[in-house]
Amino acid sequence: MLNSPAKLAVPRTLLYYRYFPLWQAFFNGLGVEVSTSAPSSANTLKCGSKYAHTDSCLPIKLAFGHVASLFGENNDYLFLPRFFRLEHKSYVCPKVIGFTDMVRCCVYPDKIPAAGGSKAPYLIDNLFDTHNYSNESVFRDIGRNFTSNNAKISRAYSEGVKSHIFLQNKKTKIFRGEILKKFRLKIGVIGHPYNVYDDYINMGVLSELNRRDAAGVTYEDMPSDDFICDFSKFPSGLFWSFGREIYRTALYFMSGRDFAADGLIYLAPFGCGLDSILVSIIQNEARDRGIPFLNLTIDEHSAKAGIVTRLEAFIDMLSN
């Protein structure tokens, strides 16, 4: 039995932006001390570029940097779950699927000698695949790293789910009660969650919109989770999990349900195959419905001044 709480580190990257409230509440319920890497920065990118393949997108390069930054901080565990399928018959990005293996092969061998013989954090990389395993069963396996008490693990998982749902409902309530009334323009912002919420990747797009009396509305703000979307127009049924989410969100914003979007912004990192396809499809849908559309392609060479200039021009167009 440990005399002090186990220390677990979570990289502030990829699916962190969707599930961290659940993870944090779960581990806290097991008596685990949770910390995260610092927000993304130029140093994070510089560090991550050392390990990422040259054709990797900006989010993956940053992800490597976040993981590498957590070595040498006396963490007992590194939480880096594998995501394969988030819903039936759909898959996440191949680079996200294989990211844990790349970390194990590239970062660990490099960082362990550099740490001067200090212990490397134990990698918790359980697989999340909703087609074959329930989320609760995966968390049960994760919890056994810290306790053999199944009842305690179940309670911690329940607390994690409650925390996740509570924060989601709170955000939706704020959206309905404040955001829709506070800002003059409502602009749907779509993209992978780590592109939408990492301010280093998107140059602070959501904050820049707010400064110009415009609300950046995202997937998490959607008041209606029962919005039905027909994927039959895609020959494969659109088998990417985030592709389905992005397309469904875009159609919701364009439908006029709950609120009328004044425009759409698509945040797409350079080199993303999925986004390169979806951008054209959603842009055509927006044009057919008469909804202004702005595609912001971002990479490590993007400058904030250029992004802000395009946002200002887009908002001026909407205002006029």
- In the CATH hierarchy, which top-level class contains the domain 183-319? alpha beta
According to CATH, the topology of domain 7-162 is Rossmann fold (3.40.50)
For 59, residues 6+ apart whose C-beta sits below 8 A from its C-beta are 13, 14, 192, 194, 195, 198, 201, 269
Q: Would the CATH topology of 7-162 be identical to that of 183-319?
A: yes
Q: Where do the structural domains in the chain lie, given as residue ranges?
A: 7-162, 183-319
Q: What is the pLDDT, as a whole number, of residue 131?
A: 58
By the 8 A CB rule, do 86 and 130 touch? yes
Element containing residue 262 per DSSP (H, E): none
Residue-wise pLDDT for 66-121, tens only, equals 999 998 888 999 999 998 887 777 888 889 999 999 999 888 877 665 544 557 89
pTM summary value: 0.89
Tens-digit pLDDT profile for residues 124-178: 999 888 755 568 899 999 999 999 999 999 999 999 999 988 888 887 777 777 7
112 Cβ contact partners less than 8 Å away, ≥ 6 residues apart: 120
In this prediction, residue 204 carries a pLDDT of 93
